[in-house]
Amino acid sequence: MPVSVGVGVLVSGGGSNFEALVAAARRGEIPGADFRLLISNKPGVGALERAARLGVPALVLDPKTFPDRAAYFDAAADALEKAGVRVVCLAGFLLKVEPNFVRRFAGRILNIHPGLLPKFGGKGMYGHHVHEAVLAAGETESGCTVHLVDDEFDHGPAIARAKVPVRPGDTADLLAARVLEQEHRLYPAALRQFLEKLDKVSA
Ligand code: GRF
């Protein structure tokens, strides 16, 4: 039986990746994953409704109520550690995490990006901006990447990726839906793989 590992999820929006992760864990597809806390930087988002329905404790931390980003991410890290979280998954989280947060969860922060990094990544490249850039560049394929988070946007080493075709006449909405379907498959698989390795390291 794998060691139980506390997982925390940071979100800013709908939370479909969050739900895909929790649902996969509850189907036994991510052995050891114990989802302990969801943190949203925005109130009233879909991810909070999903957390309530799934019975995952949730917290809204509004950056406007903190003197600066360093204080914000210290509070987020404190809440995650208090909840027993060891691995953090960013899932549609739009703030750049502060260096001290990266250090406190060194090598144990994952993110999913709706593009094939390192292309179409970096500041401002999130959600539809990615799909619009892929279409504008005339790419014939796109996809999603799960990567370890470091001090820069979308920059840490990739740990898994999935490709989808770009079809003639594709709109950003059509491409986004095709990529999101793969995200919901890739993120649980990537987290499972990551926890298996973590288990070995911490054993
Ligand atoms: C997804 O495209 C994800 O790749 C990106 O944020 C979008 C929203 O995802 N990071 P979700 O429904 O909030 O999980």
- Structure pTM? 0.95
Which of 89, 90, 128, 91 shows the shortest CA–CA distance to 17?
91
Residue 13 binned pLDDT confidence (cut-offs 50, 70, 90): very high
Scan for tokens 């288990």, then name that residue: 199
- pLDDT, tens only, 110-142: 999 999 999 999 989 999 999 999 999 999 999
Closest CA to 100 of 80, 117, 84, 128: 80
Helices (H) and strands (E) in the chain, counts: 6, 7
**Ligand 1 atom nearest 16 alpha carbon:** 12
Break the chain into its structural domains and give their ranges: 5-202
Calpha distance 41→70 (Å, rounded): 14
Cα–Cα distance list, 31 to 22, 24, 41, 136, 161 (Å): 12, 10, 28, 40, 21
Q: For residues 141 and 166, is the Cβ–Cβ distance under 8 A?
A: yes
Amino acid at 134: V
**CA–CA separation, 134 vs 160, rounded Å?**
19
Which residue's entry shows tokens 């490249």?
125
Within its chain, how far is the Cα of 11 from the centroid? Answer: 7
pLDDT over 90 for what percent of the chain?
A: 91
Cβ 46 under 6 angstroms from ligand 1: no
pLDDT tens figures, 136-186: 999 999 999 999 998 888 889 999 999 999 999 999 999 999 999 999 999
CATH fit for domain 5-202, picks 3.30.2290.10, 3.40.350.10, 3.30.470.10, 3.40.50.170:
3.40.50.170
Q: How far apart are the first and last CA of the chain?
A: 12
Q: What is the DSSP string of 169-198?
A: T--HHHHHHHHHHHHHHHHHHHHHHHHHHH
Ligand 1 centroid, distance to 203 Cα (angstroms): 32
Q: Please state, rounded to an integer, the average pLDDT across all residues of the chain.
A: 95
Question: Quick check: bond before 118 cis, omega within 30?
Answer: yes
Confidence of residue 202 (pLDDT cuts 50, 70, 90): low
Distance (angstroms) between ligand 1 centre and the Cα of 125 equals: 12
Cα 70 to Cα 144: distance, rounded to the nearest angstrom: 29
Q: Which of 73, 76, 77 is nearest to 98 (CA)?
A: 73
The CB density around residue 139, as the number of other CB atoms within 10 Å, is 18
Q: What are phi and psi of 25, to 5 degrees?
A: -60, -40
Catalytic residues: 113
CA of 22 to the centre of ligand 1 (A): 15
Residue 55's pLDDT is what? 98
